[in-house]
Structure 1
Amino acid sequence: MGILWVLVPLALALSGIAVVAYVWAWRNRQFEDMETPAYRVLFEDGEATRRGPRANGEVDKAKGHEARG
């Protein structure tokens, strides 16, 4: 029965920390966009996507098809 004097305050303290963390995340807009970070991995940020299509018909090695120009 004496362990309850330790466990109850410990549970309340951990619950309070969780509530504070949730309020902090809410105020700092951590829940604004939940979809974009999951899809960000699928997009390439390399040089090939920034240069655009090749005009000389050279095969794009990253994509495995001829560039249209």
Structure 2
Amino acid sequence: MEVIFILIAVSLIMAGSFLFLFFKAMKSGQFEDNHTPAIRILFENNQSKKEKKVKSTKSK
């Protein structure tokens, strides 16, 4: 029965620390840009193909 009290205390400490880290990330502005990550993948592939073409023409 004593183990359950230890587990509850540890889980509350972990939950509090995760909550603290979440608010710290919110305060630092980590979650402000919601649009760019969604469209970034569309442009990364195009850039990598262009870079490959430029590198292959430079090496010839």
Provide TM-score, normalisation by structure 2.
0.64
Higher relative contact order (CA 8 A, sep 6+): 1
Larger Rg: 1
Which residue is 2:22 aligned to?
A: 22
The percentage of aligned residue pairs carrying the same residue is 31
Q: Secondary structure at the match of 1:32?
A: coil
Gaps of 5+ in 1: 49-69
Please provide the CA RMSD for this pair.
Answer: 1.8
* Structure in which a larger fraction of residues adopt strand: 1
TM-score (norm 1): 0.57
Query: Which aligned segments of 4 or more residues in structure 1 are displaced greater than 4 angstroms?
Result: none
Shift of 1:46: 5.2
Quote the offset at 1:45 in angstroms. Answer: 3.1
Query: How many residues are paired up?
Result: 48
